[in-house]
Amino acid sequence: MGGRGTGSRGQGAGGRRRRAGGAERARAERQYHIALSPGELAEHVLLCGDPDRAARVASRFDEVRFERRHREYITFTGRWEGADLSVMSTGIGPDNTEIAVIEISRVCRRPTLIRIGSCGALQERMRLGDLVISAGAVRLENTSTFFVHEGYPAVSDCEVLLALVAAAARRGHRHHVGLTATAPGFYGAQCRAVDGFPLRRPGLIGELAAQGVLNYEMETSALLTLASLRGLRAGAVCAVFAHRPSGRFIDGRDIPRVEARCIETGLEAVRVLRRMDEVKRAAGATRWTPEMRI
């Protein structure tokens, strides 16, 4: 990650002009929604919908060097285990995720993006508090269709996927790996019946479950599609807050503990990815393979 912009150390009017010019360039490059400029974001970025969750992630950093709050996009950049790391809240939904991915890509050359979120489980065998690691996502949202064909697959980067699986296993967290369904809304789009709001497709949740889809949420397919389109590494891990087959929802007292599992898995995945990158550089390879070990 670049520095915070110390400008020129020159003295007098010339030095002041250079510093002013650097500040003007930073303002010109600052992104409209996330309010970040180049150098303010690390190469590894954890994404979450909840601004309070972003703050809880940042509380685990060894040092927070930078903080920016603009609308729902709350960003912390600091040091964690000897390297730079950022966390950003995006708010809810694929449209907010679209903004985050695009604007991040404009201020950070090759970011790795990992979503740490919450979801509803679709399979009976799953439990409240489990983690779901997305190998790919069913694109029920239409935000991504303004960029790619309807049949374009939303898939996790293989390195991020493997890092998340390794991370969950290392931490001893019960987890599942498979397909996620990303909806454009919380109620109708996820088959939640509410009096006065009839559902057009009440059987959709059963169709998805029968097709082996593991979970429902609102961001992952937009993240994976746009990251793939831009050539970025991305993946997602979500904690199960709702068990849709039984209609059960997590007890509020359990949320901090379950959320912590998801955060720990995201951080551990960053550790694994850093090691993968070190091994790749040493081998002169562009992709990590299991034979390289970590």
Look up the CATH number of the domain holding residue 69: 3.40.50.1580
pLDDT (tens digit, 9 = 90+) per residue, 184-196? 999 999 999 999 9
Pick the more confident residue, 27 or 221. Answer: 221
pLDDT (tens digit, 9 = 90+) per residue, 95-154? 999 999 999 999 999 999 999 999 999 999 999 999 999 999 999 999 999 999 999 999
**Alpha-carbon distances, residue 216 vs 53, 133, 181, 208 (angstroms):** 20, 12, 5, 9
Pick the more confident residue, 39 or 12. Answer: 39
pLDDT averaged over the chain? Answer: 93
* Any domain includes 92: yes
* Any domain includes 193: yes
**What integer pLDDT is reported at residue 5 of this predicted model?**
36
Q: What percentage of the chain reaches a pLDDT higher than 70?
A: 91
* Any domain includes 243: yes
* Any domain includes 167: yes
pLDDT (tens digit, 9 = 90+) per residue, 25-35? 667 789 999 99
Could you tell me the residue range of the domain that residue 60 belongs to? 17-292
* Any domain includes 2: no
* Any domain includes 3: no
Q: What is the dihedral of CA 179, 118, 222, 53, to 10 degrees?
A: -150
**What integer pLDDT is reported at residue 21 of this predicted model?**
58
**What integer pLDDT is reported at residue 23 of this predicted model?**
63
Entry pTM: 0.91
Task: Please identify every residue annotated as catalytic.
Answer: 33, 103, 192, 244
Structural domain count, the chain? 1
Q: What percentage of the chain reaches a pLDDT higher than 90?
A: 89
